[in-house]
């Protein structure tokens, strides 16, 4: 049997996705989500169990027991570090290979260093290599912030000629080379007066192009 012993809050506070629950004052939801994801991870691994230990001064009969998800045990203790270390030694003596998940080097790592059947793995490392891919909403906090930043960015200034050019380029042209010629003509019209070629076109050309453009827009609808 392999056993994973997790310092619960240590992991929660080192993972953006889970820490977001805490910041929104949803501590119970953070625990539930960690246990749910952990259970999903264990479902694909035979002979592996997990115990999550949480700091809590208000035990209310929850000092030890099964969690709400298969394969996951839950412990509450005034000092999670002490219980994590105690459980690690206990399971190792019973013959288990024990993986301890905690980034607390002083409180946990130093006490377990050098133990043959015990491995200590940093919380963020365990999350990224084992759990992140199973997180229903997953690690989307960072992605969501990124999207919001992109949405809030102001677009650069685009000329009228560029807008019309790309509308034609991706629209239903059906007019072959003439479509490209119109794009060039629009770009020329958008230049400063001093940069324009002499206007040899029909005076009604702009109106014709406008009507043609509006017809195409109606067809798209």
The pLDDT tens digits of the residues spanning 26-36 come to: 999 999 999 99
Section 11-20 average pLDDT = 94
Section 202-216 average pLDDT = 69
pLDDT for 139? 46
Distance set, CA 159 to CA 67, 93, 138, 194, 199 (Å): 61, 74, 41, 17, 20
Q: Which run of H or of E encompasses 69?
A: none
pLDDT for 90? 96
Section 164-193 average pLDDT = 49
Q: How many residues does the chain have?
A: 221
Distance between CA 76 and CA 70 in Å, rounded?
18
Distance set, CA 8 to CA 22, 34, 75, 94, 133 (Å): 13, 8, 9, 23, 19
Of the candidates 111, 140, 168, which has an alpha carbon nearest to the alpha carbon of residue 19?
140
Distance set, CA 185 to CA 27, 82, 170, 180, 206 (Å): 63, 78, 18, 9, 10
For residues 54 and 143, which has the higher predicted lDDT (pLDDT)? 54
Average pLDDT, the chain: 76
Domain limits of the chain? 2-152, 160-220
> What predicted TM-score, i.e. pTM, was given to this entire model?
0.59
What does the angle CA 3 – CA 40 – CA 6 come to, to the nearest 5 degrees? 35
Tens digits of residue pLDDT in 55-102: 986 554 445 555 678 899 999 999 999 999 999 999 999 999 999 999
Of the candidates 160, 157, 205, which has an alpha carbon nearest to the alpha carbon of residue 187?
160
Percent of the chain whose pLDDT exceeds 90: 46
Distance between CA 58 and CA 70 in Å, rounded?
25
Distance between CA 219 and CA 216 in Å, rounded?
5
Rounded to the nearest 5°, which phi and psi values hold at 200?
A: -105, 10
CATH class of 2-152: alpha beta
pLDDT for 180? 45
The yes-or-no verdict on residue 50 having pLDDT over 90 is: yes
Section 166-191 average pLDDT = 48
The yes-or-no verdict on residue 17 having pLDDT over 80 is: yes
């Amino acid at each position: 049997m392999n056993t994973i012993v997790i310092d619960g809050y240590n992991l929660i506070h080192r993972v953006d996705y889970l820490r977001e629950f805490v910041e929104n004052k949803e501590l119970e939801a953070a625990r539930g989500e960690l246990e749910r994801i952990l259970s999903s991870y264990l479902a694909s691994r035979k002979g592996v169990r997990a115990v999550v230990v949480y700091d809590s001064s208000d035990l209310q009969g929850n000092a030890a027991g099964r969690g709400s998800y298969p394969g996951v045990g839950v412990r509450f203790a005034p000092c999670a570090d002490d219980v994590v270390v105690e459980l690690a030694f206990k399971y190792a003596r019973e013959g288990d290979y024990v993986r301890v998940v905690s980034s607390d080097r002083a409180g946990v790592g130093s006490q377990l260093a050098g133990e043959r059947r015990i491995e200590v793995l940093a919380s963020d490392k365990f999350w990224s290599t084992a759990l992140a891919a199973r997180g229903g909403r997953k690690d989307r906090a960072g992605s969501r912030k990124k999207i919001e930043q992109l949405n809030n960015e102001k677009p650069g200034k685009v000329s009228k000629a560029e807008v019309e050019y790309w509308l034609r380029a991706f629209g239903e042209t059906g007019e072959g080379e003439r479509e490209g010629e119109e794009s060039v003509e629009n770009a020329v019209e958008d230049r400063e007066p001093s940069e324009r070629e002499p206007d040899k076109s029909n005076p009604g050309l702009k109106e014709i192009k406008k009507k043609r453009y509006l017809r195409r827009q109606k067809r798209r609808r």
